[in-house]
Structure 1
Amino acid sequence: MKRKLLITLATCFITLFCHAVAGMPRTILNLDSGWNFHFSYDIRKNIAPQPVTLPHTWNATDVLNGQLHYYRGAGIYNRQLAYDPAWKDKRVFLYFEGANAVADVLVNNKFVTEHKGGYTAFCAEITSYINADTNNAITVQVSNAARMDVLPLTGDFNVFGGLHRSVWLIVTNKNCITPLDFASPGVYITPTSVNTYQAGIEVLTKLSLPLKGHQMEARTIIKDAAQQIVGSQQTIIGASDEALLQPFDIKKPHLWNGRRDPYLYQVTVQLFQDHQLIDEVTQPLGVRTFSVDAQTGFVLNGQHLDLHGFGLHEDVKDRGSALLKADHQKDMALILESGATAVRLTHYPHGNYFYQLADTSGIVVWTEIPLVGPGGYTGTGFINSPELKAHAQQILREMIRQQYNHPSIIFWGLFNELKLDYDDPREFLTGLQALAKKEDSSRIITCATFLDTDYFNTVSDVIAWNKYYGWYGGRFKDIGTWADDMHKQFPRKPIAVSEYGAGANVLQHQETMNAPAADGNFHPEEWQTAYHEANWEELNARPFVWGKFVWALADFSSAIRTEGNINGLNDKGLVSYDRTTKKDAFYFYKANWSAEPMLYLTGKRFSQRASAVTSVKAYTNMANATLYINDRNRGTASPDSLGRVVWADVTLQEGKNTIAVKTAGNGIILRDSCIWIFGHSSSK
């Protein structure tokens, strides 16, 4: 636990996301406060601006009002930036973690840059735009209006407009490690060969050296988790060098081993000018090997690791995508509690802080660009338009360079559910795969399709399917038959399930299992639970399925949906939109995935019962559990292979019934209970 805390504290200082530290050669200041906001092109006079603190989105509270066409337009953010005399002879940059979806940046009313894409960072130098000894006006116009040259074109999720991630000011010396390489840290760390005895590490540093005539030197230090130096190197930099490659060998490396041992080293690159330290960047290093086999699934450091977890959107009730660190921490805590080993970050690159959490928690990450079903169900998509191609390539390059050093990231994703109605995207996707490999040859490229063919089998290293048997037609156990068929058809292609799930409103219930309409207003929690029990049973029995990703960790907003008696919400999450309620299916996975002793009584929210004779079900990973009804012992039973304990044909008394389950073992005592009411005697 102490080691984890040390690692977590260390990551707070990762290059572009730390506060300024006195005496450091690079100053980094947070600019989240002090902004004013108003919508663009408002012709009313004397409109009072709204004070806001970043992260901010103007769509945070309109998503559940049944507004199919929620506001997608432009807004303007303004703030003052006081000049610091210490910036004299320095370079000043603005760094945006994310502005959704197109941002135009002005300083003192002069245009500086435009960035397209709301889910990757961008950085602009403003040295020549700021005035000394005065306040400087920073203006950012952001638009989330739909455009045919900006991804995503469509999606079953909302595109929240605004400066929905943090903004930073970076001040460096004239010569520096560049922050302008697609807003990356400027330092790229690659394990080149790893075994029990040694790990080869390459550190590539991108430089910006406009000030000539000085002796330049790079010193790179690798420290272990105890802050002991395990490698160091000093290199003289040539006058024309724009990049520097330094190789290292770490003896007997301590591996980053997922949740079992998420061990991190720390790499610091220092830039010296005439023997004085002028810049410094620190990045995490996780040493690991990985592969995917078509027969046996995912392998981490030579051992099979079953990848199971969730899809996750950056979307929380009343905040939209303008998440705080506490929101990310809450989601990671839920992922860890469930016992998940992996997460698919959908359908766009997420904020840097979540990748840091994954690094220190040992969660394997699949992250992807927002190439999501261009055109939806009615549009043409224009996947082969030059503008859209260029934007997809831009976002892919930005995602890889910005997140390159996170050891948790194993999979880069190219797309989700592309349609084939109007154009053939395979040639373009093959080019995207080649670009991803050029940017990062070490990781695995994947994609998520919903077409049961080999159409996309050649455009990525591995492939995954979104399947919803038992929700959008079919039967629960069809997913096993489907997996066997795909494996038989494509025995050399590693396959996964990138999405599977069913909706649930925790206020809706059923005693008799009848399939609800996926697009209807009745989404009983019991059907979602039964769906996941059956689907997991099938998937768990097939180790060749290299990843199983539940759709989704939490409910999220989607303006196109009116179902489950709630407007604008995709209710397939195992946790509620506000993260306060864990649905029964969440605890099913916890019983199957987690080693933490647990016991959970299902159906607690289904308090009003119409049948006197019913069954009671609990989930546990303990040896057995005992049922008590109104304090009477109704028997002890052991869980089945899926962690289920069921007491059938239990009779309820008229009125109030106290249902309790208990278990004990190895010094641990667990209890869970609820009240069920049978009949009309609720006052008893």
Structure 2
Amino acid sequence: MKYKIFLIHLIAFTLFSCSTKEYLTANTDFNFNWEFKLEDSTSNRFDTTWKKINLPHDWSIESPLDSIKGEGATGYLLGGTGYYKKDFNLNLKNNQVAYLVFDGVYNNATVSLNNQELGKHPYGYAPFYYDITEQLQQNTNTVHVTVDRTRYADSRWYTGSGIYRNVNLITKNKLHIPVWGTFITTPQVNKDKATVKIETQLQNGYLEDKKAKITTDIFTDKNIKVGSTTTELTIYQGKSENYTATLDIKNPDLWDIDKPTLYKAITKLIENGKIVDSEETIFGIRSFKFDANTGFYLNGKNRKIKGVCLHHDAGLVGAAVPKSVWKRRLEKLKDAGCNAIRISHNPASNEFLDLCDEMGFLVQDEFFDEWDNPKDKRKNMNEKSVDYITRGYAEHFQDWAERDLKNTILSHRNHPSIFQWSIGNEIEWTYPRNAEATGFFNNMDWSGNYFWSAPPNSIEQIKEKLDTLPIATYDIGKTAQKLAKWTKELDTTRYVIANCILPSSSYESGYADALDIIGFSYRRVLYDYGHENYPNKPLMGTENLGQWHEWKAVMERPFISGTFLWTGIDYMGESNGGWPKKGTPSGLLDLAGFEKPSFYMFKSLWSEAPSIYIATQTAEKSKYQLNNHGKVVEKKEGAWQKALWVWQDVNEHWNYDSDQTTIVEVYSNSDTVELFLNEKSLGTRKLADFDDHIYKWAVPFEAGTLKAVASKNGKVVESVIKTSTQPKALQLFTDTKSVVANGYDTAHIVLQIVDNDGNPVKTENQKVLFTVTGDAKVLGVDNGSITNTQDFNSHELITNKGRALLIVQSIKDSSTPIRIKASSNTLTSNEIEITIAPSK
């Protein structure tokens, strides 16, 4: 968790038997040594015995995909009712309290301790906690969590099932800083000085008033103290008090996307000279603003937001994503020049946000995909739930929205990466009068008019319809105002935004009035409309196509701050009726985290570093052709300007029939590129000659080496692909040669079929088996294909493009090195050894 609470002056202290006179804070990782069983009437699976597991845990990803009983909306994986329990010892002292903190449980969770119900929590994404002091008993305690995921099509994407995020047990003195009780902001920032504001909540659980001293020390990332504040105060019996202090830091190191410097605040609560509570908060010093005319500024510098939308799943691990799995994926997005993440369409985990803080990603944290009215999980165009399994959060929104929104802000608000709170995603179509007012959606043509046309109705017509159409039980503008109000009750330092699918109606319905910034969903054709008609409201793209035309529209308009592409990574679900397609292939990375051609296209657009990449296709399958003048042109002129979610069909190999005409595409940020085939130049092209930002050559196939060469800023870069011959071996690669024995750390093992010369063979596939020995847990296998329906929870699979991925995870306190080999019916691999580093 972000709120990493540490003991100060701790000597020989254990959580379960405290004999010191100072009862200090303890934050215990509560993820290990759980038991689990599953009741799933849909698949007739009834576990009668408990199995040992560790958290985070997603039981749905462990099951086979089911094309009959499963739903494409949630990736053809089923749900059920999961039962978790954990025994633990905790001899709490009379002057202590204890909290059990869940970062996320999907969903409809009921939590009990020692057979006493603590509470229920329906939302699968918001963090929550319970004060368990009164329910604790001496020595052995048992916590039970029941997760009702029988509504297994309750979302438009794969959600996972179970306690899929971290759990912590926190013990404190009765005089303490409560959970999520600190808030650090930087209201004034420049290169010479930063003002740091520290808001701390203090709680007195005693039956008497307490006088105490509160101190906060600020440290750099090199552990140098740069500021301190101390105050004495009285906290009255049974009361909670809020305390605010400010201090200045000279010559601050700013948190930025290029240099994400973090500071540490250690707050101590001292009574009678003894530290009774201590909390560490990581934060960053930065400033940002949005200007309606000139866009986004970070630390005073005008920057474009080069963002991607991400769902919370990560391929074969489902929703229970280890931090190191996210790190590999985020490192690749960073390499492409990405600098921002939109969490779609729900709050992120604190662990994910930690990574964004550490790696320098701006984050839009989104609260809800449904408000008052449900979205149809199967069709996405007929906004109503029709049966039990599709009913989602809208059924709980009236009772739970404020709690879930505020819990999310309280838990996340110290993350410097967060710069926007999004109150909703594409909400408008669930309020019929808004959709009808625009003229869209009652004459929708997904291949055309919505994406590329102005609203059928004028502003005056939209206003008239909103004034005259029947008002339903709930009004979108009033709900938006309510959500924005709740947000700003807790945090006024970030901008409130929403992703608007019908911005023309949102401007007039009161929805946009609740927002600091309005986000456009697939409506780049309305950028000028929005800016000209509503010039005082900043706007940006918040869900847009991963195509050149989208980025071109941003670059041509200073008033557009940037964009969030749909999506950064392929995700499970939203594949209704698409079997065997189990997910959505709109990402720059595939389900296994492998780079796709669109990744390299956006690297050429977003990264300052020289980049170049070759893709090929037969002239028959290509979207391009050779015209009568010998120039490669689009088969449908201007098609690039209306390209949608999925990148054009291209290959990453150089294997075709002799003399077969191929179209070679090169994605580069260089002004010129020269192409060579077997060291013979095929000519130099200029980027300025290609409106679609793609270099192109028509090349009769000849076996050998195809090479593209470019230079940028004095640095020469090249991309090479070679004709492969018959498969000869399986080559294994790993992203790390050592994992920490903490039960969390992972290693990614990539398998590639290669020929006798070590060239990758991407045109043939084989069934491969991974053999793993030593102290490791196999998390599963994948090949990245959106149509791969093999079990993730396995040691074997058929490759895609001759490639496969295995992820192994360390075992807590283990020591035996991990050894990995692979084989097929005809091929064998090298052996990978991964050493085990002791856990700190």
TM-score range, shorter chain: 0.7 to 0.9
Preserved CA contact (<8 Å) 2:235 2:241: no
Pick one of 376, 385, 398 that aligns with 1:389.
398
- The 5 A counterparts of 1:117-128 are 117-128=123-134
Partner of 1:163: 163
Is 2:436 the partner of 1:416? no
Preserved CA contact (<8 Å) 2:112 2:119: yes
Is 2:574 the partner of 1:578? no
Pick one of 571, 578, 590 that aligns with 2:603.
590
C-alpha separation in 1, matches of 2:608 and 2:235: 56
C-alpha separation in 1, matches of 2:512 and 2:159: 30
Counterpart secondary structure, 2:665: strand
C-alpha separation in 1, matches of 2:283 and 2:488: 20
Partner of 1:30: 29
- The 5 A counterparts of 1:299-378 are 299-372=297-370, 374-376=374-376, 377-378=381-382
Preserved CA contact (<8 Å) 2:7 2:25: no
The amino acid across from 2:705 in the alignment is T
Partner of 1:219: 215
C-alpha separation in 2, matches of 1:300 and 1:19: 35
- The 5 A counterparts of 1:180-195 are 184=180, 186-195=181-190
C-alpha separation in 2, matches of 1:138 and 1:384: 26
Per-residue CA deviation, residues 316-359 of structure 1 (Å, 9 max, x unaligned), is: 12221111111221222122111112111111111101211212
Counterpart secondary structure, 2:61: coil
Is 2:561 the partner of 1:555? no
1:54 is displaced (CA, Å) by 0.9
Partner of 2:837: none
Partner of 2:84: 77
1:21 is displaced (CA, Å) by 7.0
CA root-mean-square deviation: 3.3
The amino acid across from 2:601 in the alignment is F
Preserved CA contact (<8 Å) 1:13 1:282: no
Per-residue CA deviation, residues 380-403 of structure 1 (Å, 9 max, x unaligned), is: 489998952332222211111111
- The 5 A counterparts of 1:462-481 are 462-467=517-522, 479=524, 481=525
The amino acid across from 1:627 in the alignment is L
Per-residue CA deviation, residues 156-205 of structure 1 (Å, 9 max, x unaligned), is: 312322000111111222221112xxxx2x11112233344433322111
Q: Structure 1 stretch 593-602 or stretch 158-167: which is displaced more?
A: 593-602
C-alpha separation in 2, matches of 1:560 and 1:352: 28
The amino acid across from 1:190 in the alignment is T
C-alpha separation in 1, matches of 2:515 and 2:327: 32
Q: Identify if the C-alpha distance between structure 1 residues 598 and 318 changes in structure 2 by more than 3 Å, giving closer, same or farther.
A: same
Partner of 1:9: none
Q: Structure 1 stretch 624-633 or stretch 74-83: which is displaced more?
A: 624-633
C-alpha separation in 1, matches of 2:392 and 2:314: 31
1:549 is displaced (CA, Å) by 0.7
- The 5 A counterparts of 1:137-148 are 137-146=142-151
C-alpha separation in 1, matches of 2:480 and 2:701: 59
Partner of 1:539: 554
Preserved CA contact (<8 Å) 2:202 2:243: no
Preserved CA contact (<8 Å) 1:313 1:556: yes
Preserved CA contact (<8 Å) 1:615 1:646: no
Q: Structure 1 stretch 85-94 or stretch 119-128: which is displaced more?
A: 85-94
Preserved CA contact (<8 Å) 1:312 1:346: yes
Counterpart secondary structure, 2:268: strand
C-alpha separation in 2, matches of 1:485 and 1:558: 34
Counterpart secondary structure, 1:406: coil
1:535 is displaced (CA, Å) by 2.6
1:547 is displaced (CA, Å) by 2.5
The amino acid across from 1:672 in the alignment is S
- The 5 A counterparts of 1:124-273 are 124-133=130-139, 135-146=140-151, 155-179=155-179, 184=180, 186-211=181-206, 212=208, 214-240=210-236, 242-254=240-252, 256-273=254-271
C-alpha separation in 2, matches of 1:20 and 1:217: 17
Preserved CA contact (<8 Å) 2:6 2:278: no
Q: Identify if the C-alpha distance between structure 1 residues 20 and 314 changes in structure 2 by more than 3 Å, giving closer, same or farther.
A: farther
Partner of 2:526: 482
The amino acid across from 1:222 in the alignment is I
1:536 is displaced (CA, Å) by 2.1
1:219 is displaced (CA, Å) by 0.8
Structure 1 gaps of 5+ residues are 1-11, 148-152, 469-478, 503-531
C-alpha separation in 1, matches of 2:583 and 2:65: 7
Q: Structure 1 stretch 73-82 or stretch 344-353: which is displaced more?
A: 73-82
Q: Identify if the C-alpha distance between structure 1 residues 333 and 386 changes in structure 2 by more than 3 Å, giving closer, same or farther.
A: closer
Q: Identify if the C-alpha distance between structure 1 residues 547 and 536 changes in structure 2 by more than 3 Å, giving closer, same or farther.
A: closer
Partner of 1:429: 480
Preserved CA contact (<8 Å) 1:103 1:114: yes
The amino acid across from 1:467 in the alignment is Y
Per-residue CA deviation, residues 281-334 of structure 1 (Å, 9 max, x unaligned), is: 111222222211121111122221111110001111222111111122122212
Is 2:101 the partner of 1:110? no
Pick one of 418, 438, 454 that aligns with 2:489.
438
Runs of 4+ aligned residues of structure 1 deviating over 6 Å after TM superposition are 17-21, 41-46, 381-386
Preserved CA contact (<8 Å) 1:561 1:570: no
Pick one of 661, 669, 674 that aligns with 2:721.
674
Give the aligned length: 613
C-alpha separation in 2, matches of 1:576 and 1:36: 33
Q: Identify if the C-alpha distance between structure 1 residues 228 and 606 changes in structure 2 by more than 3 Å, giving closer, same or farther.
A: closer
1:269 is displaced (CA, Å) by 0.8
The amino acid across from 2:143 in the alignment is I
Partner of 2:817: none
C-alpha separation in 1, matches of 2:248 and 2:333: 32
Q: Structure 1 stretch 352-361 or stretch 625-634: which is displaced more?
A: 625-634
Partner of 1:520: none
Q: Identify if the C-alpha distance between structure 1 residues 45 and 592 changes in structure 2 by more than 3 Å, giving closer, same or farther.
A: closer
The amino acid across from 1:136 in the alignment is N
1:214 is displaced (CA, Å) by 4.6
C-alpha separation in 2, matches of 1:178 and 1:380: 41
Partner of 1:97: 103
Q: Identify if the C-alpha distance between structure 1 residues 18 and 584 changes in structure 2 by more than 3 Å, giving closer, same or farther.
A: farther
Counterpart secondary structure, 1:482: helix
C-alpha separation in 1, matches of 2:305 and 2:326: 21
The amino acid across from 2:368 in the alignment is P
Preserved CA contact (<8 Å) 1:366 1:409: yes
Q: Identify if the C-alpha distance between structure 1 residues 59 and 20 changes in structure 2 by more than 3 Å, giving closer, same or farther.
A: farther
Q: Identify if the C-alpha distance between structure 1 residues 196 and 19 changes in structure 2 by more than 3 Å, giving closer, same or farther.
A: closer
Preserved CA contact (<8 Å) 2:286 2:298: yes
Counterpart secondary structure, 2:613: strand
Structure 2 gaps of 5+ residues are 14-23, 386-390, 433-471, 617-650, 725-762, 765-840
1:415 is displaced (CA, Å) by 0.5
1:155 is displaced (CA, Å) by 4.2
Partner of 2:695: 646
Q: Structure 1 stretch 64-73 or stretch 342-351: which is displaced more?
A: 64-73
C-alpha separation in 2, matches of 1:14 and 1:239: 23
Preserved CA contact (<8 Å) 2:114 2:135: yes
Partner of 2:295: 297
Q: Structure 1 stretch 542-551 or stretch 486-495: which is displaced more?
A: 486-495
Q: Identify if the C-alpha distance between structure 1 residues 247 and 197 changes in structure 2 by more than 3 Å, giving closer, same or farther.
A: farther
Counterpart secondary structure, 1:279: strand
Partner of 2:4: 15
Per-residue CA deviation, residues 432-468 of structure 1 (Å, 9 max, x unaligned), is: 1111111111110000011141423212111112117
The amino acid across from 2:199 in the alignment is L
Q: Identify if the C-alpha distance between structure 1 residues 46 and 599 changes in structure 2 by more than 3 Å, giving closer, same or farther.
A: closer
1:628 is displaced (CA, Å) by 1.6
Pick one of 581, 598, 604 that aligns with 1:567.
581
